[in-house]
Amino acid sequence: MKLYSFFVLGLVMITGCSSRINPQNSVAGTKTLRVLSYNLHHCNPPSKEKEGIIDMDAIEQAIARQKPDLVSLQEVDINTKRSGNINQAVWLAQKLKMNFYFGKAIDYDGGDYGVAILSRFPLSDQQTYKLPKNADPKAEQRVFAITTVEIAKNVFIRFASTHLDAQRAEENRMMQAKEIVKLTANETLPLVVAGDLNAVPGSESISIFDSAFTRTCQDCGFTIPVINPSKTIDHIGFKIGNPFNVISHEVIPERYASDHLPVLAVLELRK
């Protein structure tokens, strides 16, 4: 499997911060992290879907407004014809002055398609794992991409992006959630997993996910569709027992850029 990694030269230090959270100047002995999960719909706004218009600027601005430290992206196109042969992971990383890692799921339209991670911090030990699926020819290959992030000098966490099966039946999502639990069972560093799980709270696959991870909300806002949203399928969680506190969780009302609403969680990592 061909994997991509990229480090933006001259990594920008986080000196600017939001009015609510300063990742570098939190309570003594803690670090705060702004974590965003966003299904990009290959940067094709739903209102422009029939025309096949790609609006990279809209996605970049939607991400930039939240000033995230870590971003989990799904439905990312790499040099596909439908997206104008643009490497969307590289383009967003350069515009946002972030590092990136791309995890390929499938070949698509002359290029690659999968998930990606953006980070204001250095990345290392990147890996992409194929997730299981049944024999249904409509079952698309899904992946779990994970990397080590140095959030401060000699302070490391693990961060992962994933996108589970979208079929109506739960079978594949359940298998995939079980595989993620298995893949991360021996992680010793604090671990955050974010992505489009294509499952609502209370479903069997989310119950499997919840057996190993604490999601950043219990009464979660809806994330899809962007107009009159009615389902919560985009989630952020951390491994049970990790020293994280949830400062906030919110669904961002960005209704143009994608067919999903972005989800932002602010986490505090205790030493």
**Mean pLDDT along residues 5-22:** 34
Q: How confident is the model at residue 8 (pLDDT cuts 50, 70, 90)?
A: very low
**Mean pLDDT along residues 212-230:** 97
pLDDT at site 29:
56
pTM of the model: 0.89
Q: How confident is the model at residue 140 (pLDDT cuts 50, 70, 90)?
A: very high
20 occurs within a structural domain: no
Query: Taking a C-beta distance cutoff of 8 angstroms, is the pair 31, 247 a contact?
Result: no
**Mean pLDDT along residues 41-46:** 96
Nearest by Cα to 96 from 118, 112, 111 = 118
Do the strands 234-239 and 191-196 form a parallel or antiparallel pair, or are they unpaired?
A: antiparallel
List CB contacts of 59: < 8 A, sequence separation 6 or more: 38, 40, 43, 92, 257, 258
Q: How confident is the model at residue 252 (pLDDT cuts 50, 70, 90)?
A: very high
pLDDT in tens, 144-194: 999 999 999 999 999 999 999 999 999 999 999 999 999 999 999 999 999
pLDDT in tens, 58-95: 999 999 999 999 999 999 999 999 999 999 999 999 99
More confident residue, 18 or 249: 249
Token pair in block for residue 143: 């992946």
211 occurs within a structural domain: yes
Please determine, for residue 100, whether its predicted confidence score (pLDDT) is greater than 70.
yes
Complete DSSP assignment for 93-129: HHHHT-EEEEEEEEEETTEEEEEEEEESS-EEEEEEE
132 occurs within a structural domain: yes
16 occurs within a structural domain: no
128 occurs within a structural domain: yes
**Mean pLDDT along residues 233-247:** 98
CATH number assigned to the domain comprising residue 222: 3.60.10.10
Among 5-9, 41-45, 97-101, 174-178, the least confident range: 5-9
Q: What percent of the chain has pLDDT over 70?
A: 89
pLDDT at site 271:
78
pLDDT in tens, 200-220: 999 999 999 999 999 999 999
8 occurs within a structural domain: no
pLDDT at site 27:
42
pLDDT at site 30:
66
Amino acid letter, 112:
D
Neighbours of 172 (CB within 10 A): 22
CA distances from 19 to 16, 66, 67, 157, 257 (A): 10, 11, 10, 25, 24
Token pair in block for residue 147: 């990397």
Please determine, for residue 268, whether its predicted confidence score (pLDDT) is greater than 90.
yes
54 occurs within a structural domain: yes
More confident residue, 185 or 11: 185
Q: State the average pLDDT for the chain.
A: 91
Please determine, for residue 111, whether its predicted confidence score (pLDDT) is greater than 50.
yes
Q: Total domain count for the chain?
A: 1
Q: How confident is the model at residue 23 (pLDDT cuts 50, 70, 90)?
A: very low
pLDDT at site 49:
87
2 occurs within a structural domain: no
* Structural domain containing residue 161: 30-270
